[in-house]
Amino acid sequence: MADSIPLSGIVDLTPDEEHPRLWLQVMHDWIVTVDHKKIGLMYIAASLMFFAIGGVEVLLMRIQLAKPESKFLSPEQYNQLFTLHGTTMIFFVAMPILFGFGNYLVPLMIGARDMAFPRLNAFSFWIYLFGASLLYYSILGGKGVFGGSGIPDVGWFAYAPLTESGFSQGNGSDYWALGIFITGIGTIGTALNITATTICMRCKGMKLSRMPLYVWLMLVTSVMALAAIPPLSAAQIMLVLDRHLGAHFFDIQAGGSAVLWAHFFWIFGHPEVYILVMPAFAFANEIIPVFSRKAIFGYPAMVAASVGIAFISFTVWAHHMFTVGMGAVANTAFVLSTMVIAVPTGIKIFNWLATIWGGKIRFRVPMLFCIGFLFQFTIAGLTGIMLGVAPFDWQLHNSYFVVAHFHYVILGGIFFCLFGAFYYWFPKMTGRMMDETLGKWHFWLFVLGFHLTFDFMHIPGLLGMPREIYTYEPGHHWGIWNMIVTIGAFVQAIAVLIFVFNLVRSCFKGKLAGNDPWDAWTLEWTTTSPPPSYNFASEPTVRSRRPLWDLKHPEEPDWEYELGTENEMAAK
């Protein structure tokens, strides 16, 4: 089927005429661009900047907590830092960086020339950057009419009525609500765009059942984001109405409800976890097969499990609220839904295991990160089950055990896949390889730091340490564990510095990558690295899930197998 996939060289892909340009012109190019690749890269760059900010915030917090009764930070500063850290990492780092990769990769993987709505795409990015900047403007923005904290200090889930004007007198809660509300508009725009792109822009022959799993999971993520962001946005608008126009949605004294906020927040908040974790699964779905040299095991089951998780994830939110007094019956219902979601997640883990099984594993850096992800995500899933056992949760809820659990999910799961994705697609994005040795330093140091921090962070939780406290007393014996956690945090920081150094250095000095450095199988590897602005000179045609496999192995192409199963289905 070689003739149906234009490989570089078959058509003329010489880049546009090069001429020296002023940096202002270059800047102008980036600012006005509607190219999905440039927008994707800007998403990634902006998220990395916020990642650095969020990282510095957490290091300050870890210094404060390293020993009991520390005076390094004031309570006010500490509360502001953990609010900013949580908000930044979720809304300004994890979501945009994952959607940034989606932006870059989805059109390339489905053989399209751009997203369905390129200008909406640019709008989404800039509105995200504006929302995120608005939150950080709170640092400069003064304290408001009544004094109080100008920087949000109410926690990333900002439980009302603490955010009401009576208890949060500065402008902090306004910045929090509006900054994230505005960022949410961008998220919805991008989610719409990816949904439309995957549904309408696929190249010839790419049926839904032939879409790379990465694209499938980005589609599922986007649909989830479309359903999950609006409840949060609505709650934020209600909060701003409460604070400034005398509404009483969450104002207890006037008959409002505090539990209402918790429901609104978590019906966004739990799907949000899966909105973040799906794209990470998506990276693993591409990287693990390529470095195991095998097709993904159980493609239909992987798709079904993802769609299953998406649906169930909207029914589990109140497992964050086992302690609010919902009563035994409601608690039981949410225990059930929470445990049910473990089944499709388990299917995924086992299918990855089966993909590795019988392969020829190449331990390049992207694969190392994915293997780390498999181990750590298994642990995160199991601590998740412990938290789903409601009575156990009555003890663990809001303790450092929970903090360790969700960092295991987000850092040990999502960020490990994300780092893997950096090493894997960096050659496509820049045309140069990232340095393998530095990559391995990054990996091993990060693994060491991660486990120092988050393995040991479970223990003070079991010893009764609640989260979001700026200090603690020595008699609890939490100190030694917190010291280890802090040391681990700094080891991770060093690993991240190595990563950033590698990233910047490889942009200029990396080995040239060529079109297909990993001997991979999806469409993005058919075009040049970096791809031209139009991606593909002519529309590719595919006949299976792995078009490049078919090309490289004409003797046993995937489409033969897929045709076989289709006929089998038809015969039944």
Partner 1 sequence: MNRPAKTARSVALSGLALQPLHSYAFSPILNELRGATGSSLFDRLFTSPTNIFSPQSAPAHDIFRLSMFTLIVTGAIFVTVSGLLLYAIIRFRERPDNVDADREPPQIYGSNQIELAWTVIPILIIVVLFLSTVRVIFGIQQAPEPKQALDVQVIGHRFWWEFRYPKYGVITANELHVPVSSDPKDPLPTYLKLTTADVDHSFWVPRLAGKTDLFGGQVNTTWIQPEATGIYYGQCAQFCGMEHARMLIRVYAQSTTDFQSWIANQQKIAVEDPSVAEGRGVFEQNACINCHSISGTVANGHFGPDLTHLMSRDTIAAGTLPNTRANLEKWIKDPDAYKPGCLMPAMELSDQDVKKIASYLVTLH
Length reported for the chain? 572
Q: How far is the CB of 234 from partner 1 (least distance, A)?
A: 20
Does position 554 interact with partner 1 (CB under 8 A)? The reply is no
Q: How far is the CB of 282 from partner 1 (least distance, A)?
A: 18
Does position 161 interact with partner 1 (CB under 8 A)? The reply is yes
Q: What is the DSSP string of 380-407?
A: HHHHHHHHHSHHHHHHHTTBHHHHHHHH
Does position 395 interact with partner 1 (CB under 8 A)? The reply is yes
Does position 359 interact with partner 1 (CB under 8 A)? The reply is yes
User: In the window 252-281, what residues touch partner 1 (CB under 8 A)?
Assistant: 252-253, 255-259
Of 105-113, 139-147, 278-286, 469-477, the window that binds partner 1 (rule: CB under 8 A) is 469-477
CB burial of residue 468 (10 Å; 0-12, 13-18, 19+): middle
What gap in Å lies between CA 285 and CA 397, rounded to an integer?
32
488-517 as b/e, with b when 16 or more CB fall inside 10 Å? Answer: bbebbbebbebbeebbeebeeebeebebbb
Does position 209 interact with partner 1 (CB under 8 A)? The reply is no
Which of 467, 533, 537, 541 touches partner 1 (CB under 8 A)?
A: 467
Does position 563 interact with partner 1 (CB under 8 A)? The reply is no
Give the nearer residue to partner 1 in terms of CB position, either 63 or 120: 63
Peptide bond connecting 161 to the previous residue in cis, omega within 30 degrees of 0: yes
Does position 465 interact with partner 1 (CB under 8 A)? The reply is yes
Q: How far is the CB of 258 from partner 1 (least distance, A)?
A: 5
Does position 468 interact with partner 1 (CB under 8 A)? The reply is yes
Does position 556 interact with partner 1 (CB under 8 A)? The reply is yes
Contact between 479 and 68 (Cβ < 8 Å): yes
What are the tokens at 342?
Answer: 């473990």
User: In the window 326-345, what residues touch partner 1 (CB under 8 A)?
Assistant: 327-328, 331-332, 335-336, 339-340, 342-343
Does position 572 interact with partner 1 (CB under 8 A)? The reply is no
Instruction: Give the closest residue to 107 by CA, choosing from 437, 524, 508.
Output: 524
Of 16-24, 96-104, 202-210, 354-362, the window that binds partner 1 (rule: CB under 8 A) is 354-362
What gap in Å lies between CA 298 and CA 356, rounded to an integer?
12
Does position 399 interact with partner 1 (CB under 8 A)? The reply is yes
Give the nearer residue to partner 1 in terms of CB position, either 49 or 385: 385
User: Can you tell me whether residue 14 is helix, strand or coil?
Assistant: coil
| 204 Cα distance to chain centroid | 30
User: In the window 290-309, what residues touch partner 1 (CB under 8 A)?
Assistant: 292-295, 297-301
Q: How far is the CB of 449 from partner 1 (least distance, A)?
A: 20
What gap in Å lies between CA 113 and CA 449, rounded to an integer?
41
Contact between 517 and 539 (Cβ < 8 Å): no
Give the nearer residue to partner 1 in terms of CB position, either 227 or 295: 295
Instruction: Using alpha carbons only, give the angle 24, 26, 31 rounded to the nearest 5 degrees.
Output: 90
Helix H or strand E segment including 368: helix 365-388
Does position 247 interact with partner 1 (CB under 8 A)? The reply is no
Does position 553 interact with partner 1 (CB under 8 A)? The reply is yes
Q: Report helix angle 95-109 to 416-430, nearest 10.
A: 50
Give the nearer residue to partner 1 in terms of CB position, either 153 or 272: 153
Give the nearer residue to partner 1 in terms of CB position, either 259 or 507: 259
Of 34-42, 91-99, 113-121, 396-404, the window that binds partner 1 (rule: CB under 8 A) is 396-404
Does position 353 interact with partner 1 (CB under 8 A)? The reply is yes
Does position 379 interact with partner 1 (CB under 8 A)? The reply is yes
Does position 207 interact with partner 1 (CB under 8 A)? The reply is no
What gap in Å lies between CA 243 and CA 504, rounded to an integer?
45
Which of 142, 246, 391, 554 touches partner 1 (CB under 8 A)?
A: 391
Does position 357 interact with partner 1 (CB under 8 A)? The reply is yes
Does position 141 interact with partner 1 (CB under 8 A)? The reply is no
Does position 95 interact with partner 1 (CB under 8 A)? The reply is no
Q: In this structure, what are the phi and psi dihedrals at residue 298, rounded to the nearest 5 degrees? A: 70, 55
Give the nearer residue to partner 1 in terms of CB position, either 196 or 301: 301
Instruction: Give the closest residue to 227 by CA, choosing from 274, 286, 182.
Output: 274
Of 104-112, 223-231, 234-242, 463-471, the window that binds partner 1 (rule: CB under 8 A) is 463-471
Does position 324 interact with partner 1 (CB under 8 A)? The reply is yes
Give the nearer residue to partner 1 in terms of CB position, either 154 or 192: 154
Which of 60, 462, 494, 507 touches partner 1 (CB under 8 A)?
A: 462
Of 89-97, 103-111, 239-247, 375-383, the window that binds partner 1 (rule: CB under 8 A) is 375-383
Contact between 79 and 162 (Cβ < 8 Å): no
Give the nearer residue to partner 1 in terms of CB position, either 125 or 250: 250
Of 21-29, 371-379, 499-507, 529-537, the window that binds partner 1 (rule: CB under 8 A) is 371-379
Q: What is the DSSP string of 301-347?
A: HHHHHHHHHHHHGGG-GGGG-TTS---HHHHHHHHHHHHHTHHHHHH
User: In the window 2-61, what residues touch partner 1 (CB under 8 A)?
Assistant: none
What gap in Å lies between CA 58 and CA 79, rounded to an integer?
11
Does position 350 interact with partner 1 (CB under 8 A)? The reply is yes
What gap in Å lies between CA 236 and CA 398, rounded to an integer?
23
Contact between 366 and 338 (Cβ < 8 Å): no
What gap in Å lies between CA 150 and CA 289, rounded to an integer?
49
Does position 530 interact with partner 1 (CB under 8 A)? The reply is no
User: In the window 164-203, what residues touch partner 1 (CB under 8 A)?
Assistant: 167
Does position 500 interact with partner 1 (CB under 8 A)? The reply is no
